[in-house]
Amino acid sequence: MTAPQAQVPVTVRTFAQRFSATRRGARLARLLAAHQLIAWGIPRGSSGFEAAALVVAELAANAVVHGLVPGRDFALLLRYDDETGVVQIEVSDTHDRQPARVVPDRDDEHGRGLLLVDALADRWGVRERQGPGKTVWADVKAPRQRDGRMTHGTGALVKRSG
């Protein structure tokens, strides 16, 4: 008789939700994403938490403003990989129009969302999805705080001595 095999712990956590394509739906997506990041152990106020929350806010707002198809909602999918400390963010809408980065004039009130995503995400892009529309995705480094011994430094996980 052989010894039982140890099970590999689950290292990828997921959160998925559909939202109405309204400003309220975009706000709710941001709030629930922030709650989920905290539940996964990503400290509020850390640069990874703030970057991930802002990317979700921008992509959800874009889905509502630019990806709106009347009567259709948008979807948010978050994945967190414990080993890499990366949050994968996906926002899907049913509009075929591809997002475009623009350089707004200094006085423009809009047009900075994808510039912000580009600055905060380690990488991002757009892909087709099953059914109509597209998925805009972004990866953000957001290490968890572990047992009070690990903290988020300047873009890397830093182990405290002592």
pLDDT number for residue 153: 39
64 in Cβ contact with 25 (< 8 Å): yes
Residue pLDDT, tens place only, 102-148: 776 676 666 678 888 999 999 999 999 888 899 999 999 998 876 54
Residue pLDDT, tens place only, 71-110: 789 999 999 999 999 999 999 998 888 877 777 667 666 6
d(CA 142, CA 139): 9
Highest mean pLDDT among 8-12, 82-86, 108-112, 153-157: 82-86
- 49, exposed or middle or buried, with CB in 10 Å at 0-12, 13-18, 19+? buried
d(CA 124, CA 135): 11
d(CA 71, CA 155): 40
pLDDT number for residue 151: 42
139 in Cβ contact with 124 (< 8 Å): yes
Indicate the DSSP class of residue 154. S
d(CA 119, CA 145): 23
**Around Cβ 156, how many Cβ atoms within 10 Å?**
9
As a whole number, mean pLDDT of residues 12-38 equals: 95
pLDDT number for residue 130: 83
